[in-house]
Structure 1
Amino acid sequence: MSDSDGLFGGGFFEADAPRPLADRLRPKTLEEVVGQDHLLGEEGPIRRMIDQGRLTSMILWGTPGCGKTTMARLLADQTDLAFEPLSAVFSGVADLRKVFDRARDRRMGGKGTCLFVDEIHRFNKAQQDGFLPYVEDGTVILVGATTENPSFELNAALLSRCQVFVLNRLDEEALNLMVGRAEDLEGRPIPLNAEARASLLGMADGDGRYLLNMVEALYALGISKPMDRDELAKVVQRRLPVYDKGQDSHYNLMSALHKSLRGSDCDAALYWFGRMLAGGEDPLYIARRLIRFAYEDIGMADPAAAVQALAGWDTYKRLGSPEGELALTQVVIYLATAPKSNAAYKAFKTCQRVAKDTGSLAPPKHILNAPTKMMKDLGYGADYAYDHDSEDGFSGQNFFPETMKRENFYQPVERGFEREIRKRLDYWDKLRKKRNQS
């Protein structure tokens, strides 16, 4: 007998070895999987595949602890496929070749293979390309799991051969159900009062595996009197929010903050700002984006917004964390409550487009300087009207190229300071028309 068949490879005593609570509570059927009814319910697309006795290659995209690995294993079981699990973190090309060889042998014997690849986004482009012929000819049914946006992390060729299914982050109802199953298995309630129980679910942050690990730690304390929320916080660590500064959540939360500011929802903006800080985002990155927002979405409706944003950035650079974060908090509040206008942003985009379309049109000669006699003879500077010599400080001359019709790039809105700017532009338009008619 080899070691792999005996004591050291999961032989005689494996059934008696201690197993984590999360493993003991792992669903045995797809019906026991919580929180994914949109995929596994009666009308769910994966349920329909199972009912029809067919399984196609797929990518399961979801947050940690939402059941991706469990679903893949159960899919293999319910479709009578051999289950080959791999982790992209610990596997390479040699491991894949072995799996494909075994799958090819099984196929010749009339049995299919479900290849489950955890964290499939960790494979590079060449490794992902290596799946293609085996997925195409049906040697394996690929089930890949990823916490990252497949659109960014997986090859287009591989994505075109797989269906992408988005798994829900586990909500309070699903997490409560998992705690109930743990209590049934243990034959006793978790030692928490109602308030602490709710706090425990919040600490899990949608991660079922993490929740069950915390529940197991609570049972291991061996206490009988229910703890309150403060006592719970002393013995169980809160799970850090899921946030990867280089990946999808980074852009999602920034987008949420930007759009909350644009929508003048101060409280929502503060929430997403807090989420980014809690996830470890660089406050200076947030500060830069707040400055961009001040110019793009507020602009001249409140010119002080950009000043506030710059001051907040400068304050943070001088004070650092955590004192400087209060300055950024003030900026978030100011920007959220300021009047909004994207007129300057639209003017910029439009003038850029028109400038490209019109090419290299020369300025009219009357606004060109004439430092040489030849240039004066050519008409440079001729008939230029010095605006300050006019009674109202406005000449009304044309400053566009002579062959180009006048454009109105900047269209201020009737909000905030842009109301005053609108009055000024209307006044100058009126004078311009009057001068040009005379």
Structure 2
Amino acid sequence: MTDLFQSAGLESGAPRPLADRLRPQSLDEVVGQDHLLGPAGPLGRMVAQKRLSSIVLWGPPGVGKTTIARLLADEAGLEFDAISAVFSGVADLKKAFDRARARRAAGKGTLLFVDEIHRFNRAQQDGFLPVVEEGVVTLVGATTENPSFELNAALLSRCQVMVLKRLDAEAMEKLLARAERLEGRELPLTPDAREGLIAMADGDGRYLLNLAEEVLALQPDAPLGLADLSGVLQRRAPVYDKDREEHYNLISALHKSVRGSDPDAALYWLARMLAGGEDPLYLARRIVRMANEDIGLADPTAVHAALAAKDVYDFLGSPEGELALAQAVVHLASAPKSNAVYTAWKAAQRAAKETGSLMPPKHILNAPTRLMKEEGYGKGYRYDHDVEGGVSGQNYFPEEMERPRFYAPKDVGREAAIKERLERWGKLRT
């Protein structure tokens, strides 16, 4: 099998990176993706049946997307042709399609691997449709982004999406063991440092092997401890794009952790976002939203705590101001929860749209002119402050409108007292 190293035009005797030398030569050597490649997995079944359809491989970096595509081509007896959407345009696509048509005429099929397929624009993606439908190519696209957001619906309808998992510690340990067997020696690391090396790679197998190669090149007198390892290697930056799916996944996790009254989880996701480079003021705005949407009048101080955190961050900046955001998140996660005002406001907005331009009842209208008084404006109005208890019980909705109930306070926090008052006042209205 021609590997990536040889296809790049390099001599077989030239130095090769460890990750390339350990590249799997068969699908059963791929680690961490048994849910796809195992006998019961969708790709495993395709290979067993010698039937390969167009697919999109979606997963984080360094989990084997390119390798799997190449091995699928071998298993299916197809010519492997690869392009990258980062470096290719319409002309490159046309050349790839022409090569595939020529192979087809000679009785040979083509697996066209498109790396970073989400980088192609909508028009370029549409260019794949006829060659996929006609069977000119079996398309295997690879993407780190959510295909439902980044790929045309028409293209998605012609491909199966296969989700590759971030490599777990067990899969990463298998890679390290293979590296040690290939090199004929163990990594000079203490057990804690070995775990730390895996943590540094953050689920990226390729990056893990690059780190392992650096460690093997060190040849220290004694095994490196965790502190030593941190001093000589650079931890992999967290996978986080502030304008892509990871951003929305993590803010959703933070919001739902607060709503679910789990301050520990909320702090974790807040820390993850800040470590990924998220704008702290974006987080402050979302925390204010959480205070209004999920806590509301169950704890009216929550929104003040959220706004104060924003002000503190404005004043101190990073990293000191981040503590104020953490404090607000813990306050909100620990507070009693009520979305009663949130749902009441949504219901009131719907009612306002449905009832058009109904006038308020005349008794609550001011009557600054004689004509308005003659028309009954203000007639029968009772000044609530002059009534015993301070509530007159009059109707304040349009006369043509049946009285709705939007706000239903909950029996939590300070809203419990509000509920009791409203129930007492509601009896006056009936």
Q: The TM-score by the shorter chain falls in which range?
A: over 0.9
Task: Please give the alpha-carbon distance, in whole angstroms, between the structure 2 residues aligned to 1:397 and 1:153.
Answer: 55
Give 1:431 deviation, angstroms: 2.6
Residue aligning to 2:262: 265
Task: Please give the alpha-carbon distance, in whole angstroms, between the structure 2 residues aligned to 1:352 and 1:323.
Answer: 40
Task: Indicate whether 1:123 and 2:133 are aligned.
Answer: no
Task: Please give the alpha-carbon distance, in whole angstroms, between the structure 1 residues aligned to 2:8 and 2:168.
Answer: 35
When normalised by structure 1's length, the TM-score is 0.95
Q: Which amino acid aligns with 1:18?
A: P
Residue aligning to 2:130: 133
Residue aligning to 1:307: 304
Deviating 4+ runs (over 4 angstroms): 8-11
Task: Name the SS for the 2:67 alignment partner.
Answer: helix
Give 1:9 deviation, angstroms: 9.0
Change (3 A) 1:431 1:159: same
Give 1:224 deviation, angstroms: 4.1
> Aligned residues, how many?
425
Task: Indicate whether 1:174 and 2:171 are aligned.
Answer: yes
Task: Please give the alpha-carbon distance, in whole angstroms, between the structure 2 residues aligned to 1:9 and 1:227.
Answer: 37
Q: Any unmatched runs of 5+ in structure 1?
A: 1-7, 434-438
Task: Please give the alpha-carbon distance, in whole angstroms, between the structure 2 residues aligned to 1:160 and 1:178.
Answer: 35
Residue aligning to 2:368: 371
Shifted more, 70-79 versus 384-393: the winner is 384-393
Residue aligning to 1:16: 13
Task: Please give the alpha-carbon distance, in whole angstroms, between the structure 2 residues aligned to 1:136 and 1:303.
Answer: 59
Residue aligning to 1:102: 99
Residue aligning to 1:351: 348
Q: Any unmatched runs of 5+ in structure 2?
A: 1-5
Q: Give the alignment of 1:49-68 within 5 angstroms.
A: 49-68=46-65
Aligned-residue sequence identity (percent) comes to 67
Structure 2 residue aligned with 1:324, among 310, 318, 321?
A: 321
Residue aligning to 1:4: none
Task: Name the SS for the 1:212 alignment partner.
Answer: helix
Cα deviation 1:160-201 (Å, max 9, x = unaligned): 110001001000000000000000000111110000101111
Q: Give the alignment of 1:364-403 within 5 angstroms.
A: 364-403=361-400
Task: Please give the alpha-carbon distance, in whole angstroms, between the structure 1 residues aligned to 2:186 and 2:332.
Answer: 48
Task: Please give the alpha-carbon distance, in whole angstroms, between the structure 2 residues aligned to 1:157 and 1:96.
Answer: 18
When normalised by structure 2's length, the TM-score is 0.97
Task: Indicate whether 1:208 and 2:205 are aligned.
Answer: yes
Residue aligning to 1:415: 412
Give 1:357 deviation, angstroms: 1.8
Cα deviation 1:44-93 (Å, max 9, x = unaligned): 00110111111111100000001101100000011010001111101111
Task: Name the SS for the 1:385 alignment partner.
Answer: coil
Give 1:391 deviation, angstroms: 2.0
Task: Please give the alpha-carbon distance, in whole angstroms, between the structure 2 residues aligned to 1:406 and 1:239.
Answer: 60
Q: Which amino acid aligns with 2:180?
A: E
Task: Please give the alpha-carbon distance, in whole angstroms, between the structure 2 residues aligned to 1:111 and 1:163.
Answer: 23
Q: Which amino acid aligns with 1:234?
A: G
Task: Name the SS for the 1:392 alignment partner.
Answer: helix
Residue aligning to 2:40: 43
Task: Name the SS for the 2:158 alignment partner.
Answer: coil
Task: Please give the alpha-carbon distance, in whole angstroms, between the structure 1 residues aligned to 2:174 and 2:401.
Answer: 70
Residue aligning to 1:90: 87
Task: Indicate whether 1:250 and 2:233 are aligned.
Answer: no
Residue aligning to 1:5: none
Residue aligning to 1:436: none
Task: Please give the alpha-carbon distance, in whole angstroms, between the structure 2 residues aligned to 1:9 and 1:138.
Answer: 25
Q: Which amino acid aligns with 1:69?
A: T
Cα deviation 1:272-323 (Å, max 9, x = unaligned): 0000000000000000000000000000000000000000011111111111
Residue aligning to 1:280: 277
Task: Please give the alpha-carbon distance, in whole angstroms, between the structure 2 residues aligned to 1:344 and 1:27.
Answer: 57
Residue aligning to 2:25: 28
Give 1:222 deviation, angstroms: 2.0
Task: Please give the alpha-carbon distance, in whole angstroms, between the structure 1 residues aligned to 2:421 and 2:237.
Answer: 52
Structure 2 residue aligned with 1:143, among 140, 144, 147?
A: 140
Task: Name the SS for the 1:14 alignment partner.
Answer: coil
Task: Please give the alpha-carbon distance, in whole angstroms, between the structure 1 residues aligned to 2:190 and 2:389.
Answer: 76
